[in-house]
């Protein structure tokens, strides 16, 4: 594949803990992933994004790293990772790995040295600050994990910054030596053969050196937890991040056909995505949480796509996801358990302009699991129960065989309960059903791969309202029309008389093209070349 293989690619996110357990200890592992890669390749994706497998105390399940170059024994060995990488490449799959560069685990040797004194070689590798005169933290910054972003350390008699859990201190990426050390980590994995990085919380890399307080949210935007009561102007999204991103891009450009995708959670997601990916010297692409919350109107989705074709955004490239390991599954969050609508959403994702990510189980239409409090593992869920049950509901084990223990995920007791509702949606059940979400996903991804218009083409909304979206994608001589009814009522949507199908249509839910109009029942999809 060419050096810009990532542009318009489809990538499949694997959360290793919950994908496949090869050794029966109840936790998914790298050999389990390797064994299932033929299944992933058969979906028609271009590669995988592998969530963290690095050495970690697992307070945040791998997003708290103790050794950036180590494989946690829970997941296997470095030889297991090398075998996974080789098998993926044999199958034609690219491999992106998570890199968590905004913070480490408190157990990381860098932090242990940094906290020992104020004058050791790594004293400034993390963000330290004195208390205010009254002993309170240096700023009012609040973490989305349900606590202030500062914790007092009695060794140094200073506060350290952590935008997430207190046991996940923030690196000081203003420090050139820290940037160098992080880039060495990236170089290690690139030399090992990975095809790129998913950069966790990339807009959290730098903080305001002046340590200014965040202002309050206006009353109409104020949420009901402390982090939602302030505008996050100074703890994230600082301009000093941009030169570091340029160093990351330069590192990747020193290797063939590598790419970076940033995760961005910001008060202005679109602007930040454009800023981080515009031109040829910053990151390749980025995704945000714009489609990971409540379902927007169909015309709002169309506006998001069109925003990326004008102004500064035209020199950047977006990525999109409807589900991931941090968000409730889209089959519940948007489709509310309607299997027809869940299938429509898979097709919608495949027709968006940008690089797209499918989360494991999304191709099966898996709903969000309901986890009892006593079974919760997620620290966020434990802290916010019952207002927010956390992230465990989208992390329950993947169902492979309906009749097997734990639906074929493991021969042992799974780390999270295997959802009994998943058995009817297991891979082996759906393989036998030509109308299943699994087969449908393969069809729509094959269509995306076959048409440059869907991977690379311009986006034009022919009609968009609250529930109905009719779009045209075009690239060179290739063009595709796609229509979606995300509502509960059947509609008849007029089309321009000049439009003519140029091949067979891919349809779902009884959609038909009748003369100069589309008939779209609820949850229907109609995709056809022009």
Q: CA-CA distance, 368 to 389, in Å (whole number)?
A: 11
SS (H, E, C) 99-166: ECCCECCCCCHHHHHHCCCCCCCCCCCECEECCCCCCCCCCCCECCCCCECEEEECCCCEEEECCCCC
- Helix and strand totals (H; E) in the chain: 13, 21
- Closest by alpha carbon to 332, among 365, 291, 298? 365
Asked if 200 is an active-site residue, the reply is yes
Q: Which of 29, 263, 326, 419 is catalytic?
A: 263
| Positive or negative: CA dihedral 488, 494, 499, 504 | positive
Asked if 263 is an active-site residue, the reply is yes
Q: CA-CA distance, 367 to 324, in Å (whole number)?
A: 12
Asked if residue 233 lies in contact with residue 272, where contact means CB atoms within 8 angstroms, the answer is no
CA dihedral 407, 409, 410, 411 (to 10 degrees): 30
Burial of 180 (0-12, 13-18, 19+ CB in 10 A): exposed
Q: Which of 200, 275, 419, 467 is catalytic?
A: 200
Q: CA-CA distance, 302 to 300, in Å (whole number)?
A: 5
DSSP letter string, 172-217: -TTSHHHHHHHHHHHHHHHHHT--EEEETTGGGS---TT-PPPPBP
Q: At what angle do helices 78-90 and 30-42 cross, to 10 degrees?
A: 10
Q: CA-CA distance, 200 to 195, in Å (whole number)?
A: 16
Distance of CA 87 to the CA centre of its chain: 23
Report CA-CA distances (Å) from 190 to 99, 229, 252, 373, 505.
Answer: 12, 40, 8, 40, 41
Catalytic residues: 200, 263
């Amino acid at each position: 594949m060419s050096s810009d293989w990532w542009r318009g690619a489809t990538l499949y996110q694997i959360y290793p803990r919950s994908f496949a357990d090869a050794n029966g200890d109840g936790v998914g592992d790298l050999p389990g992933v390797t064994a299932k890669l033929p299944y992933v390749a058969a979906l028609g994706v271009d590669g995988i994004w592998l969530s963290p497998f690095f050495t970690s105390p697992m307070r945040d399940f791998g997003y708290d790293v103790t050794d950036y170059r180590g494989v946690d024994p829970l997941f296997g060995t470095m030889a297991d990772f090398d075998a996974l990488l080789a098998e993926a490449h044999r199958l034609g799959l690219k491999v992106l790995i998570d890199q968590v560069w905004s913070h480490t685990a408190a157990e990381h040797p860098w932090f242990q040295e940094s906290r020992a004194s104020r004058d050791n070689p790594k004293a400034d590798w993390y963000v330290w600050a004195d208390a205010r005169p009254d002993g309170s933290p240096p700023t009012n910054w609040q973490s989305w994990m349900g606590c202030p972003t500062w914790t007092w350390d009695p060794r140094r008699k200073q506060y350290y910054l952590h935008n997430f859990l207190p046991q996940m201190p923030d690196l000081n990426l203003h420090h050139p030596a820290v940037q160098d050390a992080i880039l060495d980590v990236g170089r290690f994995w690139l030399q090992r053969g990975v095809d790129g990085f998913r950069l966790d919380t990339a807009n959290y890399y730098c903080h305001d050196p002046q340590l200014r307080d965040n202002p309050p949210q206006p009353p109409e935007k104020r949420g009901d937890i402390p982090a939602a009561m302030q505008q996050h102007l100074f703890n994230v999204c600082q301009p000093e991040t941009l030169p570091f991103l340029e160093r990351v891009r330069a590192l990747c450009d020193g290797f063939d056909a590598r790419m970076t995708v940033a995760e961005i959670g910001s008060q202005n997601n679109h602007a930040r995505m454009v800023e981080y990916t515009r031109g040829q010297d910053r990151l390749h692409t980025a995704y945000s949480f714009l489609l990971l919350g409540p379902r927007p109107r169909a015309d709002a989705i169309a506006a998001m796509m069109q925003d990326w074709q004008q102004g500064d955004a035209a020199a950047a490239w977006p990525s999109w996801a409807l589900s991931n390991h941090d968000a409730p599954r889209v089959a519940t969050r948007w489709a509310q358990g309607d299997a027809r609508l869940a299938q429509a959403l898979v097709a919608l994702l495949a027709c968006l302009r940008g690089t797209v990510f499918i989360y494991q189980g999304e191709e099966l239409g898996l709903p969000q699991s309901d986890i009892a409090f006593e079974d919760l593992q997620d620290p966020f869920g434990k802290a916010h129960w019952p207002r927010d049950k956390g992230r465990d509901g989208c992390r329950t084990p993947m169902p492979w065989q309906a009749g097997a223990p734990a639906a074929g995920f493991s021969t042992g007791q799974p780390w999270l309960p295997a959802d009994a509702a998943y058995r009817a949606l297991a891979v082996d059940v759906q393989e036998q059903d030509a109308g299943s979400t699994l087969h449908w996903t393969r069809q729509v991804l094959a269509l995306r791969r076959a048409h440059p218009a869907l991977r690379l083409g311009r986006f034009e909304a022919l009609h968009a309202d609250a529930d109905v979206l009719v779009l045209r994608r075009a690239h060179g001589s290739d063009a595709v029309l796609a229509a979606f009814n995300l509502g509960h009522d059947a509609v008849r949507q007029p089309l321009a008389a000049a439009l003519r199908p140029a091949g067979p249509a891919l349809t779902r839910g009884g959609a038909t093209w009748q003369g100069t109009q589309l008939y779209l029942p609820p949850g229907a999809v109609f995709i056809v070349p022009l």
